[in-house]
Amino acid sequence: MDEIKLYPIGVVSSPIKEVSLKAGRTGLERTEDRQQSYKNHHKIKETVCKLVIAEEWQELLDGIEDFSHALVLYWPHLLNPGRRKLRKVHPLGRKDMPLTGIFATRSPARPNPILVSVVRILERKDNVLKVIGLEAVDGSPIIDIKPHVVAYDTKEQPKVAPWMEQIQREFGV
């Protein structure tokens, strides 16, 4: 296969300064206890971040303010590159969850650690997009931004794994 090169189009300015989950040698490790994780999850849904787009790409934002939500693709820059070889993890580092293949999780520890979040757009000012609900750590490189379109991005009654249903219940999602 040919090599693929990605270039950041901007950077996330976020009040989140540390990761809550890191990739260890044998799997995911939590950097906080479960109760703190639940509290932080609810804070993230209300966290306001700025997507600072490089000025050379500013015009690519034209029209984004006509959408209420966007998909933000970003790179977990604090992930140790050596941890991208994990094959299976316990979701959220929880040993009470089944050992699961990386592609069946939202883990940042993956061969190509491209993360995605759906965010609500609050405002756009020049090359800065203010959003709410982004789980990215401050300084995360932004790879792409796409408008969220229900017809393309939302499917009726998606099936999720039982362990994910449990996590969603616990997080109040």
Find the helix or strand (DSSP H, E) in which 44 lies. helix 34-44
DSSP string of 107-170, one letter each residue: -S-SSS--EEEEEEEEEEETTEEEEE---PPTTPEEEEEEE--HHHH--SS----HHHHHHHHH
Q: In angstroms, rounded to a whole number, what is the distance separating the alpha carbons of residues 98 and 112?
A: 23
Cα separation values, 83 from 17, 19, 157, Å: 20, 15, 34
Domain boundaries, the chain: 10-171
Q: In angstroms, rounded to a whole number, what is the distance separating the alpha carbons of residues 163 and 173?
A: 14
Token representation of residue 13? 């300015």
Residues of the chain with pLDDT under 50: 34, 36-38
Burial class (CB in 10 A: 0-12, 13-18, 19+), 134: buried
The pTM assigned to this predicted structure is 0.81
Q: Can you tell me which residue has the tokens 């994910």? A: 164
Token representation of residue 130? 């203010």
pLDDT for 20 equals 63
Token representation of residue 87? 């094959």
* Backbone φ, ψ for residue 163 (5° rounding): -65, -35
What does DSSP assign to residue 171?
Answer: H
Token representation of residue 10? 């901007």
pLDDT for 166 equals 85
- CA 109, 112, 2: angle at the middle one, nearest 5? 155
pLDDT for 126 equals 97
CATH number listed for the domain at residues 10-171: 2.40.30.70
Q: Can you tell me which residue has the tokens 């006509």? A: 66
Token representation of residue 49? 């971040």
